[in-house]
């Protein structure tokens, strides 16, 4: 299907749009302007460019609005509003969601447990959480944001509904809902770990890339399995994918420290 000259690859569970652009993925023998791939798993936002700054500014503005509305939720001298009950959490974190810092290190125990369960690297899983901590992971904020952007990602691992629903099949959390991710960091981490497991199964045995396995898996998490396989075959990452990779490399030390690795 074409839309404004774009090819929509609906066969990939993480839909890709391929189009001509100067920010593109350079194909072997081509130039960076030949083609670009934007994966909708993370909304296709350019987090480091103008779009990224606007995206973060929108999150900040939304937070202010939510806080203002929360402050207006009771009349002076009147009774406080009755808090709503959050969905069940499979492994609650030690501090209340509203008072948590944004440092993923607080999820070290969940990362170790879920990485072992899925057979993936805890260091990679933790580094991805650091990569995905560019926005505030507050349940109320995330749900308000989804009202403005229906295809937004949920949870500390920024997972979209289609990816979550595909990943949970035949797993221990198959009865859980994507809507629970903002309130349940452990569920979000479990889904991310199993998605990395599924991506690893799709890596080609023969590769012509100088990228390591964990780097390719991280790119797959960000850009989708189709792009991951292209990178493994030697396609150079485009601007957005390279930025995600550079951020990942900068987060290895943080991940090691969070997990207590020397």
Q: What is the pLDDT of residues 227-244, one digit of tens each?
A: 999 999 999 999 999 999
Q: pLDDT under 50 in the chain at which residues?
A: 1-54, 60, 64-100
Please say whether the structural domain 2-70+103-259 has been given the CATH code 1.10.530.
yes
- pLDDT of 77 reads 36
3 state SS for 206-230: CCCCCCCHHHHHHHHHHHCHHHHHH
- pLDDT of 262 reads 75
Q: How far apart are CA 55 and CA 59, in angstroms?
A: 6
Hey, where are the domains in the chain? Answer: 2-70+103-259
The CA R_g of the chain, rounded to the nearest whole Å, is 19
- pLDDT of 78 reads 35
Q: How far apart are CA 238 and CA 241, in angstroms?
A: 5
- pLDDT of 68 reads 38
Between vectors from CA 31 to CA 40 and to CA 251, what angle results, nearest 5°? 50
What's the pTM?
0.66
- pLDDT of 195 reads 98
Q: How far apart are CA 253 and CA 209, in angstroms?
A: 24
Helical (H) or strand (E) element with 39: strand 36-39
Q: How far apart are CA 97 and CA 90, in angstroms?
A: 14
């Amino acid at each position: 299907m074409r839309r404004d000259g774009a090819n929509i690859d609906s066969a990939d569970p993480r839909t890709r749009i391929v189009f001509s652009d100067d920010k593109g993925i350079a194909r072997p023998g081509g130039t960076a302007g030949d083609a670009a791939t934007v994966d909708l798993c993370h909304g296709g936002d350019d987090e480091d460019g103008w779009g990224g700054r606007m995206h973060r500014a929108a999150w900040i503005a939304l937070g202010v609005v939510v806080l203002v509305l929360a402050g207006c939720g009771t009349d002076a001298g009147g009774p406080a509003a009755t808090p709503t009950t959050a969905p069940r959490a499979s492994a609650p974190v030690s501090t209340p969601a509203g008072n948590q810092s944004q440092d993923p290190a607080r999820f070290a125990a969940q990362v170790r447990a879920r990485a072992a369960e899925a057979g993936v690297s805890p260091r990679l899983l933790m580094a991805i959480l650091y990569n995905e901590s560019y926005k505030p992971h507050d349940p109320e904020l995330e749900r308000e944001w989804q009202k403005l952007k229906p295809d937004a990602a949920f949870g500390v691992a920024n997972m979209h509904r289609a990816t979550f629903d595909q990943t949970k099949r035949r797993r221990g959390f198959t009865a859980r809902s994507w809507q629970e991710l903002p309130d349940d960091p452990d569920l979000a981490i479990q889904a991310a770990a199993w998605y990395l497991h599924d991506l690893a199964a799709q890596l080609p045995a023969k590769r012509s890339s100088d990228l390591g396995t964990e780097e390719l898996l991280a790119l797959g998490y960000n850009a989708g399995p189709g792009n991951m396989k292209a990178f493994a075959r030697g396609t150079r990452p485009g601007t957005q994918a390279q930025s995600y990779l550079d951020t990942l490399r900068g987060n290895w030390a943080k991940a090691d420290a969070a997990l207590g690795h020397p």
